Structure 1
Amino acid sequence: MAPPARWDPGSGRWHAVGRHRGNSRRYVNMVVRVEHLENFRVKGVYSEALIRSLNGYDHDPAAPRTLQNPWTRERAQSLADGWNRHREPLFIEGHPYAHPRISVPNPPPAEIQLDGETLHLARYGPRGAHYSRTPPPVEWIPEP
């Protein structure tokens, strides 16, 4: 869960509440890049300090254990499941940047259809799936 937004952190960034590195038991509010987050899960919140951090400016001292604007468990689980599905950026050869609106599952499919065009997987590495418009070469097998 994220605290209420006091300002827009920009695309690809989220507000998060977590414990600071080191030997600190305090919760801190921070803005992190989405690609640095993983392993989303739904858990109950029972710590007054965590509830205070999640509520932000909307925290009511008269009700220290009340989370403002809570999500239903079903909504939270649905969002966590969607975020846990790992997606890879899609690059098309000849274009220097990843396609802005399309990503592929991990592992990527050998062929995809994009705007009525068939793209073939050229290579796959740590920076994403690279697709080409030309089909892969056919392996020549000698006849016996």
Structure 2
Amino acid sequence: MTNTGPADGETPDGLLGWCLVANVARETARGESGLDIQHGTKHFRAGALLWLPPVRWDPGHGRWPAVGRHRGNGRRYVNMIVRADDLENFRVKGVYSEALVRSLNGYEHDPAAPRTLQNPWSREQAQSWADGRNRHREPLFIEGHRYAHPRISVANPPAGRDPDRR
């Protein structure tokens, strides 16, 4: 992945912390068997930038808390739980906005320290998560089960397999 930020050891002026970010996928699958294709999600338009704070609690498998600008009001940040499958293009960005810090902190925000992230990512930790999520993996479907197995996935295409062979 290309490093577009400052060199190691340098801190940009006004940087309040680092955060994992992703875009809402251009097309999201909904409905039975994922046959209903939608553009974006109910709350975020396709391509919207979402800030993903470190997970403090488990919102359920394959779901993450996210902060972004809502489809209906592009001025204010909102906190939502989103499906990880609806996100793409994970990367690390610096946080410079006090309003964004307030939203990322949520209920733990301290008005006495408005520029302090309460649960920050380290740049290396966020980059590791981004690299892991950007490796495309396909869910494993088990015969007799309606949904993909949530904990098992395989590389796309599986290593050592000829894609032309059926």
**Do both share a fold (TM > 0.5)?**
yes
Aligned with residue 82 of structure 1, among 132, 135, 143: 132
The answer to whether 1:45 aligns with 2:95 is yes
Q: Which has the higher strand share?
A: 2
8 Å Cα contact 2:70-2:77 kept in structure 1: yes
Q: Distance in 2 between matches of 1:110 and 1:100?
A: 24
Count of residue correspondences: 114
8 Å Cα contact 1:3-1:53 kept in structure 2: no
TM-score normalised according to structure 2 size: 0.58
Extract structure 1 runs of 4+ deviating beyond 6 A: 120-123
Q: 1:95 to 1:109 in 2, by over 3 A?
A: farther
* CA RMSD, Structure 1 to Structure 2 (Å): 2.7
Q: 1:87 to 1:67 in 2, by over 3 A?
A: same
Q: CA deviation at 1:109?
A: 3.4
Q: 1:100 to 1:55 in 2, by over 3 A?
A: closer
Aligned with residue 80 of structure 2, among 16, 27, 30: 30
Q: Distance in 2 between matches of 1:8 and 1:36?
A: 18
Equivalent residue runs for 1:89-108 within 5 Å: 89-91=139-141, 94-97=143-146, 98-108=148-158
1:57-79 C-alpha deviation (Å, 9 max, x unpaired):
11111111111121211111111
- AA aligned to 1:14 is W
- AA aligned to 1:2 is P
For 1:2, the equivalent position in structure 2 comes to: 53
TM-score normalised according to structure 1 size: 0.66
User: Bigger shift: 59-68 or 14-23?
Assistant: 14-23
8 Å Cα contact 1:4-1:55 kept in structure 2: no
For 1:66, the equivalent position in structure 2 comes to: 116
Q: Distance in 1 between matches of 2:95 and 2:150?
A: 35
* Identical pairs, percent: 75
- AA aligned to 2:61 is S
8 Å Cα contact 1:3-1:17 kept in structure 2: no
8 Å Cα contact 2:59-2:81 kept in structure 1: yes
Q: Which runs of 5+ in 2 are unaligned?
A: 1-51
Q: CA deviation at 1:49?
A: 0.8
- Indicate the structure whose relative CO is greater, using CA pairs within 8 Å and at least 6 residues apart: 2
